Amino acid sequence: MPTIVRSTDQVSPRERVSYWKSLTSDAMTQLEVHPAEPKHFSGRMVAAEVGQIRIVDVESSAAIVRHTQRHIASATDAEFMVCLMLQGSSCQRQLGQEDVLHPNDFMVLDSTRPYELVFPETNRMLVLCIPQQELARRVADCDGSVARRVCGDGGLNGTVSTFIRQFWRQCCDTKGVGVIAPRLSDALLDLLSGALIAESDRQGRSCARPIKRRQQVMDFIDNHLCDPALSPSMIADACGMTVRYLHVLFEEGDESVQRFIIRRRLEECARTLEQHATNTRSIAAIALEHGFTSPTHFGRVFRQRFGLSPGEFRAQAGHGAEIGVSANAQRSITRN
């Protein structure tokens, strides 16, 4: 797994703060950095891309970090940033909420809203930068999980914290995770999503009936993507609601039920096309296995989604895009 290592030791002391600001902004999202002791500031960063996730291991001296409205205005990508504390502590502020992370704790931040992180001492944090739609397709109420501390000392939360840390250690290993990276990143996202949903239920934040019902629908769709008969009426019957109410649940989002189904099928087809083990299977067969009934329709909507035909996507994936979808496809996913 290719990783990029950067350190303020590479520049003179007077240039370290501006250099660090540039590094963190490029690796995560645009930031301003205010060290407690500018003349003695130091920082080290290791970054890698794993499937659809960008992971950044950040270690630095005491500082205050801010993501402002000005940064948001010039940003192009909407991401959720999962901050897992490895060493030291940090005070995280967003959406009028404030909480302190200690080792093993984690929190989700939203890059489309201002936030502030206060590191009172030397610290180390693992940041997972995730396209917002990757969590949104798994968690019905992502906003309800933003800026809330998740204690990682035990239970499912502890399992997630441990998995993320072990996953990162494996990524940094010389052998890395290679072609299985997309599968591992999917597993990580599924595990993280489960923890966020459980934490939301535990704290009573997702008690609203529409949120629970939408989550039920999303889970049903994911479990039946390969069924060509999957339709709004089938979903409504299985989930015990009317088709009208089903459509109401999706009104607040930017997708109808049918568009959500097609997007999820396309994402799963794209992941299958990336896998070298499927090179002997026809594209038509892959489309049919994921619920598409017409290869022609599949080819058309696939190109609309990713900017490439299924064959071009597979060929590009076979020329070195082992750790995720191609850059063009990833940008297409983010835009859509």
Average pLDDT over residues 49-65: 93
Name the nearest CA neighbour of 268 among 245, 249, 292. 292
Name the segment(s) of the chain with CATH classification 1.10.10.60. 209-335
Contacts of 193 (CB under 8 A, 6+ apart): 135, 138, 139
Give the model confidence (pLDDT) of 213-241 as tens digits.
Answer: 888 898 899 899 999 999 999 999 999 98
Show the tokens assigned to 142.
């992502």
The CATH number, out of the four listed (3.20.20.70, 1.10.10.60, 1.20.1250.20, 1.10.510.10), of the domain defined by the range 209-335: 1.10.10.60
Query: Which value, in Å, is the radius of gyration of the alpha carbons in the chain?
Result: 21
DSSP string, 152-181: -SSHHHHHHHHHHHHHHHHHHSSS--GGGH
Cα separation, 214 vs 134, in Å, equals: 16
First to last CA, the chain: 28
Contacts of 224 (CB under 8 A, 6+ apart): 230, 234
Q: Which pLDDT score, from 0 to 100, does residue 328 have?
A: 39
Show the tokens assigned to 213.
């019902």
Give the model confidence (pLDDT) of 264-289 as tens digits.
Answer: 899 889 888 887 656 788 999 999 99
Q: Which pLDDT score, from 0 to 100, does residue 300 have?
A: 94
Q: Which pLDDT score, from 0 to 100, does residue 138 have?
A: 87
- Region for 155 from its dihedrals, namely left if φ exceeds 0, alpha if ψ lies in -120 to 50, beta otherwise: left
Burial label for 161, CB within 10 Å (0-12, 13-18, 19+), is buried
Q: How far is CA 324 from the centre of its chain?
A: 13
Name the segment(s) of the chain with CATH classification 2.60.120.10. 4-202
Cα separation, 106 vs 82, in Å, equals: 7
**Pairwise pLDDT comparison (59 vs 204), residue with the higher score:** 59
For residue 141, how many other CB atoms are within 10 A of its CB?
Answer: 19
Cα separation, 63 vs 307, in Å, equals: 42
Furthest CA-CA distance within the chain: 66
4-202 is a CATH 2.60.120.10 domain? yes
What sections of the chain are H helices per DSSP? 16-27, 69-73, 132-136, 155-172, 181-202, 209-223, 232-239, 243-249, 257-274, 283-289, 295-306, 310-317, 327-335
Burial label for 10, CB within 10 Å (0-12, 13-18, 19+), is exposed
Provide the pLDDT confidence category of residue 208 given band limits of 50, 70 and 90. Answer: low
